[in-house]
Structure 1
Amino acid sequence: MLPGTSLQSFLRSWIGVVGFMALGNTVQCFISGNGTTERLYAGSEDQVTSLAVRLFGVWTFLAAVLRITCALYIHNNQVYFLTLGSFILVFVHFISELLIFKSAVFSVEIISPLAISGTSIILMIVGRWFLEPHKVKRH
């Protein structure tokens, strides 16, 4: 077994699971309406409109598709770095909503996406070192 192979397998699985979790969150946005998102942005419930919830759902769907694609094609540089960028974007978004805009409050609803995106960022940076160079597609 090549060094890092088990880490690669774990990383693929992790990214895939996170992608499918995002699909579930997408469905929640369109079915549950404002309730789910209001808990996430509890600091500014008056700003959470139906339009904002649907927009959040579409954004989450796009992230889900990207992450599932990355899990399937983990050796593709472009997909890998776009996925890493999506996790960075999520992390920065929720940190800014919590600390700068104060639209989120420190709760399980905000800790969860921060923990998942933060863990994913670390795993993807470390995992990149172990991807076999000859299998990485460069375009």
Structure 2
Amino acid sequence: MEYIKSFVPATERGLLPAYLIFVSVVAMGNTFQSFSTLAYTNRIYNGLFVPNPRLPSTSMQSLTPASSKDAEKAKGQVTPLAGRLFGVYTFMAGLIRFYAAYEIENPRLYQLAIWTHIIAAAHFTSEALIYGGINSSTIFGGPPAFPFLAAYGGLFWMLSQYSNYVAA
């Protein structure tokens, strides 16, 4: 048990470093699954879309959220490329959080870790409320709940504990 404890960052001031390690490990696991299957990414990005015939396929609005009458021909937006891109971003965010957990007093690393949460929160929120890539009805009870909780929970926790870990 002592051997395992030697890898856990110091938690005398609170559990934030342990949380950062946890979300880092989850992110790294998510990275590996993003390169091997789209199943889990499709559970988060669960919005369905249909082509907009009035726009060229290169337009950012070439797909529109599907209505109930279009459900049979609707498709998700997650592609192998999108899955790999999400995996690379997730790995980068996890790596920053991992380093921040062990150097929690370093203001630059702490702030970078805060930014990973801001970017994640902005991304998931915009996919749910603007772009429709996440079905907003599943945010609080479906697979997208964990990314939202991790993004916003981690952000508020890190902001509220800044002065506890980073000397002025």
Q: What letter corresponds to residue 131 of structure 1 in structure 2?
A: Y
Matches of 2:94 and 2:166 in 1, distance apart? 25
Greater gyration radius: 2
What does residue 62 of structure 1 align with?
Answer: 92
Q: Identify the match of residue 112 of structure 2 among 67, 71, 82.
A: 82
Matches of 1:84 and 1:42 in 2, distance apart? 27
Query: Comparing both structures, which one devotes a greater share of its residues to helix?
Result: 1
What does residue 109 of structure 1 align with?
Answer: 143
Q: What letter corresponds to residue 119 of structure 1 in structure 2?
A: G
1:124 is paired with a residue of what secondary structure? helix
| Structure showing greater relative contact order (alpha-carbon pairs closer than 8 Å, 6 or more residues apart) | 1
Instruction: Confirm whether residue 49 of structure 1 aligns to residue 49 of structure 2.
Output: no
Matches of 1:119 and 1:94 in 2, distance apart? 13
* 1:6 to partner: Cα distance: 5.7
Runs of 4+ in 1 over 3 A off after TM superposition: 5-9
Aligned sequence identity (%): 31
Q: Is the 8 A contact 2:35 2:87 kept in 1?
A: yes
Instruction: Confirm whether residue 30 of structure 1 aligns to residue 60 of structure 2.
Output: no
**TM-score relative to the length of structure 2:** 0.71
* 1:8 to partner: Cα distance: 3.2
Q: Is the 8 A contact 1:7 1:127 kept in 2?
A: no
Cα 1:20–1:6, aligned 2, differ >3 Å: closer, same or farther?
closer
RMSD in angstroms over aligned alpha carbons? 1.8
**TM-score relative to the length of structure 1:** 0.85
* 1:9 to partner: Cα distance: 3.4
Q: What letter corresponds to residue 61 of structure 1 in structure 2?
A: F
Q: Identify the match of residue 127 of structure 2 among 81, 97, 104.
A: 97
Q: What letter corresponds to residue 34 of structure 1 in structure 2?
A: L
1:47 is paired with a residue of what secondary structure? coil
Count, aligned residues: 129
* 1:43 to partner: Cα distance: 0.5
Unaligned runs of 5+ in 2: 1-9, 49-74
Instruction: Confirm whether residue 129 of structure 1 aligns to residue 163 of structure 2.
Output: yes
* 1:132 to partner: Cα distance: 5.4
Deviation digits for residues 97-136 of structure 1, max 9, x if unmatched?
Answer: 0011011113222111111111111110111121252xx7
